[in-house]
Amino acid sequence: MLLHASDTHFSNFINGKLLPAASGDYLPVYNPAIGEVYAYAPASDSNDVAHAVTAAKAAFGAWANLPLDRRAAYLIKMADLIEEHLEQFALAESEDNGKPLSLARSVDIPRAAANFRFFGTALLHFSSEAHYTEGMGINYTLRRPIGVVGCISPWNLPLYLFTWKIAPALAAGNCVVAKPSEITPRTAFLLSEIAQKAQLPPGVLNIVHGYGTKVGQAIVEHPQIKAISFTGGTRTGAEIARTAAPMFKKLSLELGGKNPSIIFADCDFDKAVATTVRSSFTNQGEICLCGSRILVEKSIYQKFKNAFIEQVKALNVADPLNETTNLGAIVSAEHLQKVLSYIQLAKTEGGTILCGGEQLHLTDRCKNGWFLSPTVIEGLPHDCRTNQEEIFGPVVTIMPFDTDQQALDYANSTEYGLAANIWTQNLDRAHKMANLLAFGIVWVNCWMMRDLRTPFGGVKSSGVGREGGWEALRFFTEPKNVLISYKI
Ligand code: NDP
């Protein structure tokens, strides 16, 4: 059992200790399914960040020089402990974020454990380059940890994305000051207890809760934090880049998306429909990888639309704790209003709501929760605001296209370039489209199938840099070239 699973006042985790914010202030944490405050997180500020950086700096030398197998053992222990407490973590994540418990249990928490296990083993196999230079000698690249690094993550996949940054940072030998979203801080708080149980040396991992504009900003501004790994909105990413660039910090920015699902007439129809329902509405559409623009070849447009709408209408929007729930609650009242405002915008832009479009009022425990029915909109041009801006909720548009080139033009027309998925049985077309789509990730005949070794990230306004596998370990290390001169 996790001792702190039922705490209503969360703590920071600094230098191995659970602490309140230096100010003693707390901020409210809501359960979106019931629309009420259910806990409080420390409202930290730059004093807490400074405390965490001091602890991290003090821990750095020993952690960076630990034999690799011992560092690996700590991370693998973290993975084991998360798995051991999977049910408590899944419940905490569902209550904090509004996502279905079944999803947290089958995706979020197993993936958080997998992140620690993956990078805990990856560090044992990480190697660097050597270049023999004729007449000169041999160059080799040393890869040393950077020092103290900052990890800032969003609310949609709270523990999943938090650990996706922390695990490679620690694996590479850095000490971490991390901030979860203030909207979903609970599993990050529980991770503190996992770190204590794993006997992670004090100061190696520090978790500071609070508002982005205070704690996040303080992490980005701190001169001793040499690299920032951030996942969140494009506007926040730009703000972080503005602050960090003059300080010459290393930056990894995973930002927003407006992803296309492109359905060709020669697709495996049933699979394309069923997967597009999932890619549109999993986690209430609050995944950066969700497809939000469905482009369908004209000859099958009506057939696809009818089958798709039928399956969307069958989705169960209900209490996240019910095992049969497909969509849970929207993460916050503010976000619900934002998503509803985009539905309104779509109407003013001439869109027709094919299904959904309304806030849902459930009964009983969830009567004040923030629920929205899955919404499908047609009749909009590809370049209108609804089709260009990130909505990040259970709202998709559907539109026909005539040719491969038109599909490509529509798909590539936004400022974003995170992930695209295409559906075709034509191998030639699949390769051509994959090459020409301006996205960091392209899935062909599938969606969100992940191998943690692959480069993860977007182009254009979807981000800078790549996470995953060696990319992450390279980001979290500083390369140094050494030339040994000799003549044969
Ligand atoms: P935000 O950009 O609002 O917040 C992300 C994190 O940054 C939060 O912890 C936030 O804290 C913090 N933050 C806010 N302001 C600052 C600041 N000035 N300096 C430093 N940190 C700050 O994003 P959301 O949490 O709303 O997440 C949704 C967004 O994340 C969407 O745009 C989505 O596309 C994107 N995303 C991208 C992914 C990718 O891999 N490309 C994956 C998942 C989501 P606080 O919560 O306290 O404001």
pLDDT tens digits for range 289-331: 999 999 999 999 999 999 999 999 999 999 999 999 999 999 9
pLDDT confidence of 352, banded at 50, 70, 90?
very high
Report whether pLDDT(487) > 80. no
pLDDT confidence of 13, banded at 50, 70, 90?
very high
Report whether pLDDT(155) > 90. yes
Residues 6+ apart with CB under 8 A from 92: 5, 186, 187, 190
| pLDDT 10s digits, 126-139 | 999 999 999 999 99
At 295 the three-state DSSP class reads strand
Residue 412 domain-assigned? yes
Place of tokens 């990894």: 252
Residues 6+ apart with CB under 8 A from 460: 415, 416, 417, 438
Q: How many Å lie between the centroid of ligand 1 and the Cα of residue 182?
A: 10
Mean pLDDT value of segment 106-112: 98
Place of tokens 């690799």: 68
The reply to whether 294 and 379 lie within a common domain is yes
Q: Is 20 in the pocket of ligand 1 (CB under 6 A)?
A: no
| pLDDT 10s digits, 382-392 | 999 999 999 99
pLDDT confidence of 220, banded at 50, 70, 90?
very high
In the chain, the percentage of residues whose pLDDT exceeds 90 is 98
The reply to whether 199 and 333 lie within a common domain is no
Q: How many Å lie between the centroid of ligand 1 and the Cα of residue 174?
A: 23
Domain count, the chain: 2
Residue type, 330: I
Atom 15, ligand 1: residue with shortest CA distance: 212
Which atom of ligand 1 sits closest to the CA of residue 256? 34
Model pLDDT, residue 1: 80
| pLDDT 10s digits, 372-422 | 999 999 999 999 999 999 999 999 999 999 999 999 999 999 999 999 999
Enter the tokens of residue 334.
Answer: 């503010």
Model pLDDT, residue 25: 98
Model pLDDT, residue 246: 97
The reply to whether 224 and 306 lie within a common domain is no
Residue 73 domain-assigned? yes
The reply to whether 270 and 394 lie within a common domain is yes
| Pairing status of strand 395-401 against strand 291-297 | parallel
Residue 2 domain-assigned? no
Mutate to test the pocket of ligand 1, among 27, 48, 152, 234 (most ligand atoms within 8 A of CB): 152
Atom 10, ligand 1: residue with shortest CA distance: 212
The reply to whether 223 and 352 lie within a common domain is no
C-beta neighbour count of 124 within 10 angstroms: 11
pTM of the predicted model, to two decimals?
0.97
Model pLDDT, residue 4: 87
CB contact at 8 A, 289 and 419: yes
- CA 62 to chain centroid, in Å, comes to 30
The reply to whether 298 and 383 lie within a common domain is yes
Model pLDDT, residue 488: 67
The reply to whether 46 and 175 lie within a common domain is yes
The reply to whether 213 and 276 lie within a common domain is no
Q: Is 232 in the pocket of ligand 1 (CB under 6 A)?
A: yes
How high is the mean pLDDT of the chain? 98
Mutate to test the pocket of ligand 1, among 163, 231, 247, 284 (most ligand atoms within 8 A of CB): 231
Report whether pLDDT(347) > 90. yes
Model pLDDT, residue 140: 97
CB contact at 8 A, 423 and 445: yes
At 439 the three-state DSSP class reads coil
The reply to whether 432 and 375 lie within a common domain is yes
Q: Is 214 in the pocket of ligand 1 (CB under 6 A)?
A: no
Q: Which residues form the catalytic set? A: 254, 288
pLDDT confidence of 478, banded at 50, 70, 90?
very high
pLDDT confidence of 3, banded at 50, 70, 90?
confident
Atom 11, ligand 1: residue with shortest CA distance: 212
The reply to whether 112 and 144 lie within a common domain is yes
Report whether pLDDT(104) > 80. yes
- Put the strands of the sheet holding 477-485 in their side by side order: 130-133, 137-145, 477-485
Model pLDDT, residue 2: 84
Residue 248's CATH number? 3.40.605.10
Rounded (5°) CA angle 88-93-98: 135
The reply to whether 202 and 281 lie within a common domain is no
Domain range for 163 is 12-255+462-481
The reply to whether 115 and 234 lie within a common domain is yes
pLDDT confidence of 110, banded at 50, 70, 90?
very high
Mean pLDDT value of segment 192-218: 98
Query: Greatest CA span in the chain, whole angstroms?
Result: 82
Residues 6+ apart with CB under 8 A from 221: 46, 243, 247
Torsion of CA 158, 163, 166, 169, to 10 degrees: -140
Atom 31, ligand 1: residue with shortest CA distance: 233
Q: How many Å lie between the centroid of ligand 1 and the Cα of residue 181?
A: 7
Q: Is 465 in the pocket of ligand 1 (CB under 6 A)?
A: no
Could you tell me which of 403, 386, 250, 393 has the C-alpha nearest to residue 335? Answer: 393
In the chain, the percentage of residues whose pLDDT exceeds 70 is 100
Strands (E), 347-402: 352-355, 359-360, 371-372, 375-378, 395-401
pLDDT confidence of 458, banded at 50, 70, 90?
very high
